[in-house]
A and B are shown apart, each in its own frame.
Chain A
Amino acid sequence: MEGVWTLLSFGPEGWGDNIAKGVLLTVTLALATLPLGLAIGFFVALGKRSNDKALRLAANIYTTIFRGLPELLTLFLVFYGAQIGLQKLVHLFNPDANIEINAFVAGMVALGAVFSSYASEVFLAAFRAIPDGQYEGGHAIGLSNGQTMRLVILPQLIRLALPGLSNLWLILLKDTALVSVIGLTDILRQTGIAARVTKEAFLFYGIACLLYLVLAMLSSIALGAIERRTKRHGVQR
């Protein structure tokens, strides 16, 4: 038992500090992906409920692709594909340039694309739950389209979309584990290195699982608090 605590301690013999860095990277990646995914998801949802056929089609193609591809494949497509694509583009101007895609950015883009395609469906469902009377009421008191969206629709939309988005956040947190494959030192990568060096695979992968569980629990608590806050001055439907 003492050996276990040494292995997990912070310091030269222990892996505690390495794993803590991994946790930090996982959380940073998820937090950095969130605003990207939310923003794209919102605009894709707007596109899907547009009156214009072309815009609806363009938005639906986006969701079909990123919901249909395995997350791991999306990650590889972004990581290798963007590298090759950018390299070719740069070679047109400067044949000697060498481009390396940052793994963190690739992870952010891939996870953001997946997150946003699911988020757009959540936003779409929330849009549908807001009655037309809200738009008409906004217009009746002389608000422009943009003002109606910002002042009337958005506050209600957030409240309606929050449960679905909370779920997506938990999925995002788990999906970040995939970036360990393209070399980012997240929780799973750090514990994997520790497992290989110390030959204590079960211990370290068990700890990885527990850390993800703790992150999920902390998220649930925080999301629950946010949900209660938004419900405070909401109409009961």
Chain B
Amino acid sequence: MRVPLGWLRDYVHFDLAPDALAERLTLLGFEVKGLERWGAEWRNVVVGELLTVEKHPRADRLSLTTVRVGPGEPLQIVCGARNIAPGQRVPVALPGALLPGNRAIERTEKMGIVSNGMLCSGDELRLSVDGEGILILPADTIVGTALTDLYGDWVLDVDVKPNRGDALCLVGLAREVAAATGGVARFPVVALREDGPPIGDVLGVTVEDPELCPRFVARRVDGVRVAPSPEHVQRRLLAAGMRPVSNVVDATNFVMLELGKPTHAFDAACVARDASGRAVLVVRTARDGERLETLDHVARTLTPDTLLIADADGPLAIAGVMGGAASEVGAATQDVIIESAVFDPVSIRRTAFRYALRSEASLRFEKGQESRLARIGADRVAELIVAWSGGRAASGRVDTDPDESAPARVGYRPARVDRLLGTDLGPEAQAALLARVGIGTEPSMPGSEIVIAAGSMPLSVHAAPGEARDAVVPSWRRDILVEADLAEEVVRLAGYETVVGKTPDTAMPHVRPNPLELRDALRAALAGAGLTEVVTPALVAPGQAAALGWPVLAADGVAGEIAIDGPAVTVTNPLSERHSVLRSGLVGSLLDVLALNERHGRGDVAIFEVGKGYAKAPDGAPAEWWRLGLLLAGSSGAPAWNRPARPYDLDDAKGIVELLARVLSRSEPVWSPYTDGAPLHPGRAARATAPGSLAGIVGELHPSVLATWDLRTERVLVAELAIRGLSAGQLPPVRVTPVGRAQPAERDLALVVAEGVPAADLAATLRSAAGERLRELALFDIYRGAPLAPGEKSLAWRVVFAADERVLADDEVDAEVARLISAAVAAHGARLRS
């Protein structure tokens, strides 16, 4: 809320510089987001006296003036306005001036005559909405005064939190300033002369739905003259960020800003009369299909739960949200009906959202309104209309519920307040603090109820004798409902800075396993291996999953990390189509990252992400699961002058997956061909399985996918893995195998097999044929070509055997190797390469 300090001073006295006041308000919970020098824009604009006004010799519509702005020579200025005359005081923009909107004023020539500046309208200075005539200043204004000194002000932009609707106005903030400075806030005194007819003769109100409209107060002022508001009123409204409209409408806006009370003025001529000639307003919900053209000139079809102000002929206004165009106060209006009501906050909020009409009024209504303000608001608006527009106020007011309830009493226990805050204030100091915002305190009745929690989870206890006090809460403080609210009020007024911090010395919880331990270990391992971690948006374009075709792996072998191959979860109110669906996997996002970096000329990309996939389960419930994705493209390793660049290939990706399997379970994953096609190169895709710990797909992307993503690179390696414990898990401790003292025996073994025999199958055969003495089995070479026949390949293995405590004899090792060879012969038709 914009708070012009000159206006605020009407309600409270303070001896603080604007920035000091801003800090005090911030520390009181009313954060000042901005401090603006209103009028700082009027550089080089001064008060001038018109000495002469003559017709421009060459232009009928221009005047030639001389203006005195100080002791020097009068200035000759050409002006287009008609409302000027000698002797008037006017704002003069001198050459070099800069007006609002960055409008620079220079010495110019107009129709052959030099103009040394410009006479300004109120609109040009944003001092009023009058753009027609020059702003005529009071006759006693001192010539030569800078306009900033005359009308400048400081304006605070105060962030009023949703629970403090009472402070969404100048009087409310004045109360806070008073609490901060020890001063006294002054409520405006309403002095309304009621010399019109009795209200009952000219106005009637029927509230059909008192639940939605607990109080409706109305007044009537007849014989007004609708015109612009007085200039000082326009100045205040503009400084507060509100555009002046007319003296009647401005009166309602002025009171809204002053008291926080939204009201509405109807043109009484547009309200239907009953048989006795009284205008009669009806407060009711809309009937199906009813229509209303609102003030913004949009014709709206109303829904049945919309609360209306209507008359016998139909809707006049959407209650608390926006008036109707037909009953709008305009230049021809003579008689005005003032509505000042209390509406149900939830109803107003829903209605404002439904019609996308969140107005200054609805914002205040939806925070709840103090009942008392309905009466005061009506009186104040009527007073201001009479003062600014003339007219005679009808005597008395229509009021559907004049009983203003007694202040609320909220019980609290001073010791509990100190216990919550960690302070040692005691009952008297607390009471003194509360008194600063008008909260009185009294000893409670014995056994009185202390409300701990309200709302959807209420809880009350009975206070022990002498333990509790009652806070007597002013009617405007609708936010104070439970004991903790008073604790906040106490510490707020004492100053949060008075709470002396200490390190917690209460009991420590037991040690708990860190659910992120395993995930963090894998992330550290991948970063250590040269991959860069990325974090990408979970919301993706709806077509992404189809464009990629990556399978959602149920990952049965990896306990606790199940994914759902179900419909995507879609955002129903997305900010953009590009981010409207929760992704089912990570690979598409990694491709987006590659594409972005390629566009920046960066083709060497090695990245990973640990993130979630999402889908709807068959029962419609949301499912989320963790996956690890990685992508390699371009050259492996950092390029350097002394190392030739080598493009990433499938083995690089597999090596990384093997690293992960080692970190996870000290095991090697088993590779098998992945043949389900989809987004992968049909000959370069593998399923990785490390039973119980890891499962996923590693492969080179199909060239058609690269085209879809508009990628320049020829090959992209990707993997997506389900990993046990990725959602929450720890790494198992390493279990050590004793290191044998005897020297192991190492042999090389080259086996020739058909091309179609996967190395992993041969390895499995060798492994199962070997006895417990096998320590290592590693593929170290693959050879194709002469003297092998076409369609043959030679796989060379290094095998290491050892016994625990002795060196193996040559014939023992020979026997081990022979067993491997015969197993390979039997299973795969292998032969030993000589």
Does B associate with A?
no
